[in-house]
Amino acid sequence: MTAVISLGGSFLFDKKEETSSLFKELKSINDKFLIVTGGGPIAREYIDFGKNFNLREKDLHGIGIKCTHVNAWIMSKAFKTDYTAVDPRKIRIKNRITLTGGYLPGWTTDTCAAYAAVSTRSKVIFNMSKENGVYDKDPRKFRDVQLLKKVNFERLYSLTKGKRVPGMNFIFDPLAAKICKKNGIKIVVTSDVNDIKKYLKNQEINGTVIE
Ligand code: UTP
């Protein structure tokens, strides 16, 4: 079985120890994993840098894509895994763990993860986030927020309205969620690396399941 992981750039940069634990955890599980890394704060900073030189929107997205690949490549070197830059809609994975980044301008790495889940026949995407899961309100704006254990796609869309601009930041990209809904792929949003093994063993997890 293959599972896809959308490794958000915010997780990567905010939670370095947990990132090491994540790879250790994945190596102890007997499934194949395709990991799509996000761009994180570096991508947003670089996109702002590009704006100083009046790059067009497509090229600003291009900066973001390159950042996601630098992150994927660094992780592949650090944890001795495969790395690829092929179209996620055509991706095939050979070895246990493969890393990749973004692909087309205007997408996000969540979109790549969704397409990769379709092409590898994965039933689930683990969205590793710096947030513990999906909340009823934006935790960056409100204090009295509640973590939701289960969310349906309609509720997710209502929580993720926003503009598709370079460097955009969603809990899980609603465009990617549409691909998942259409193909019966579930999404687990979590900051807890142990949730992967737990979910695959049908145990209760700490994060949120979107289905
Ligand atoms: P992401 O939005 O995927 O990275 O890509 P992130 O912000 O680290 O992800 P999360 O939210 O933490 O999970 C960064 C930017 O790169 C461009 C977009 O502009 C995006 O906002 N990008 C990325 C693309 O244009 N196409 C891709 O396939 C991937």
Ligand 1 neighbours (beta carbon < 6 A): 8-10, 38-40, 43, 61, 64-65, 68, 102-109, 111-112, 166-169
Other CB atoms within 10 A of residue 36 CB = 32
Could you tell me the pLDDT band of residue 26, with boundaries at 50, 70 and 90? Answer: very high
Three-class SS of residue 34?
strand
Q: Pick 167 or 96 by higher pLDDT.
A: 96
What pLDDT score does 141 carry?
A: 86
pLDDT digits (tens, 9 = 90+) for 152-205: 999 999 888 888 899 888 889 999 999 999 999 999 999 999 999 999 999 999
pLDDT digits (tens, 9 = 90+) for 118-132: 999 999 999 999 999
Shortest-distance Cα residue to atom 7 of ligand 1: 40
Question: Hey, what are 2's tokens?
Answer: 């293959």
Domains in the chain (CATH in brackets) are 2-210 (3.40.1160.10)
- Which whole-number Å values give the CA distances from 28 to 22, 24, 59, 78, 174, in the listed order? 10, 7, 39, 17, 31
Question: Hey, what are 52's tokens?
Answer: 């100083």
Residue from 37, 109, 160, 163 to probe ligand 1 pocket by mutation (most atoms less than 8 Å from CB): 109
The model's pTM: 0.96
